[in-house]
A and B are shown apart, each in its own frame.
Chain A
């Protein structure tokens, strides 16, 4: 059995992942380690990740068995390490890394389609794989120079709306819920992109057409400064996206009728509204979205591809959770807290955390290892009670954020179907990648985590075995309040990636962004 280091090193989302003896051992995303969002730290080398890997597991490029590189843009890194890795490095294409990363972590048995789609990567915008029992066949690729990308339109729209590409696309999704259909925008977007009936989106000049009109017509008109038109633009993009993806899904189902399960990966599927729509189409019995659907998922995908080739991952693994990042010891925390006179602490108890949530405090959770992927799932989360309508505004102000998307609920699995309309694809919701409709009787009970416009929510389903500490915290709150749900948002301030270090979180405590920090052993607060 082998130790394989997967490396994603591209213009964004630099990450390393380790698969050892057929199991996922650790994943380090450079943006969390540096504290700088990857869109501001382009072509970052995985320097800190490799240091952490050596320190925590004594694994490095020299003593590992294989290196799987998920991108072609790794020249400097390869040159620098040529003497060490040239005889054991494998190159895995961008979209093979995406599609296999999703399939080989889905736990899905039988016939499965794995589909990826994003802006671009290694001459492709996406791939279709037919998978069965750990084997796969690539049946289609979407060449960059000949096809269009829906994800590309989202990135461009993010830019025109004044936000940062590769970071703020979620805000466009949030904004869409405030808009309505606009015939003019609809006709324009329809003139820029269509489904070609051959598993591609076309035309290949979609971006040129999009920019041509946006820059020369809409921008001078002030469309992107007008609140209503901005929302309508976002809404229409979501509408077009769903239409196009529906056409593709219907076509895939027609071409591959024996395949009833599908895995999705690539930046497009960070769009939880789209994922909800695709799930509700009912064309596939089960949908699984890779927890790190964007390019940070490539490192694991590349490593799993090599492990699969070696016969060490013969069938899809089922991730119990994605707590695969860095861990800080109790001693680290004690030292940090003792060195800061403005802090005091008490022993951790779930009952106490439940009480704090119930009393309306903003509680930061810093437990175990950092999550892999864009979602905080209970280890680097901020939790708040979900029952107050004003929480969205209050929390945005306190955290100095500008979130448009409603905050998400984390719900005990045992109660998830009681609160949300969950018919299928429950496993993927453990990673907060899908939206569901909230049941009528719960809309007014948990307004802080439900979209007030359409009643949807993107719940994290918290399983007792896979995520025990978070389950215990929500259970404690449930016991006191009667609500098996908490509001869950990522533990970071505006513009930061999910926090990975004690000092980052303590800063938030000292500046009153949060009221408490909960670690495995202690509960910390600012001294009165």
Chain B
């Protein structure tokens, strides 16, 4: 049997979960995205043609409980190489605030402090009101002005997950009594968009962060 113990992968959740396969033990890999649903792991997406040293990213950008599996081939049978379950404890999480009002961002920041305490993660907040937030809050959260080189920042700071806290695209369809107007992945839970699990048109600005981070 092939020794797969040294398989090298990179999995991060920066505006959607990204899987990088930095390995060539198998000629082709199967990657799977699972989400916690009905007390079990529902498979919501898979791709069975990932070549060595390639990456794939799922669109779903809001915070949810992910499990990712990477399979290889061993004697022509699928073999599970690695599995990763989303876990924020002791991880670096970046929240990118984007809203014109300081009042709203202040509320988001308060919720971010609670989020940090609840999850045991280390939080970075990017905000155009960084200076004011630093002045108003005495907290362990790292507050940043606009990040100039985002990819480099993620790498240097080993950011595990990034969430864009803002009101995303305008909803086009408001109401559908057959409930099929949402993203409906493999018949697991359905969502309003890849950015908001719920119908954000009905949410106040303060509540947007609750929706995106599923607080």
Contacts and interface: CB of A to CB of B under 8 A. Distances in A.
A187 B77 contact: yes
Interface string B65-78: 00001010100111
A74 B180 CA distance: 9
Interface stretch (A210-218, A341-349, A408-416): A210-218
B188 A145 contact: yes
Contacts of B44: 145
Nearest to A143: B38
B49 A145 contact: no
A120 B43 contact: no
A72 interface: yes
B78 A209 contact: yes
**What is the interface of chain B mostly: helix, strand, loop, or mixed?**
strand
Contacts of A123: 187
B46 interface: yes
A146 interface: yes
Contact of B76 (A144, A145, A188): A188
Contacts of A397: none
B78 A145 contact: no
A205 interface: yes
A499 B180 CA distance: 35
B27 A216 contact: yes
Given A72-B178, A209-B78, A212-B78, A217 B42 contact: no
Contacts of A204: 41-43
Interface string A296-307: 000000000000
Contacts of B28: 212, 216
A277 B40 CA distance: 33
A1 interface: no
B111 to A, nearest CB: 30
B37 interface: yes
Interface in B182-199: 186-188
Contacts of B71: 209, 212
Q: Which of B28, B176, B187 is packed against the most chain A CB atoms within 10 Å?
A: B187
Nearest to B28: A216
Interface string A203-230: 0110111011101110000000000000
A87 to B, nearest CB: 13
Interface string A178-203: 00000010011001000000000000
A84 B37 CA distance: 37
A78 interface: yes
Contact of A145 (B30, B43, B73, B180): B43
A191 B43 contact: no
Contacts of B178: 72, 74-75, 78
Given A75-B178, A208-B43, A216 B187 contact: no
A145 B34 CA distance: 9
Contact of B77 (A120, A146, A213): A213
Interface of B: 27-28, 30, 32, 37-38, 40-44, 46, 48-49, 69, 71, 73, 76-78, 176, 178-180, 186-188
Given A72-B178, A209-B71, A213-B78, 8 more contacts: A72-B179, A78-B178, A145-B38, A191-B78, A204-B41, A208-B30, A208-B32, A216-B48
Of all A-B residue pairs in the complex, the 8 with the closest CB atoms, nearest first, are A145-B42, A208-B46, A144-B187, A145-B188, A212-B48, A212-B30, A123-B187, A204-B43
28 contacts: A72-B179, A73-B180, A74-B178, A75-B178, A120-B187, A143-B38, A143-B187, A144-B186, A145-B37, A145-B38, A145-B187, A146-B37, A146-B38, A204-B43, A205-B46, A205-B69, A207-B46, A209-B71, A211-B48, A212-B28, A212-B48, A213-B76, A213-B78, A215-B48, A216-B27, A216-B28, A216-B73, A217-B73
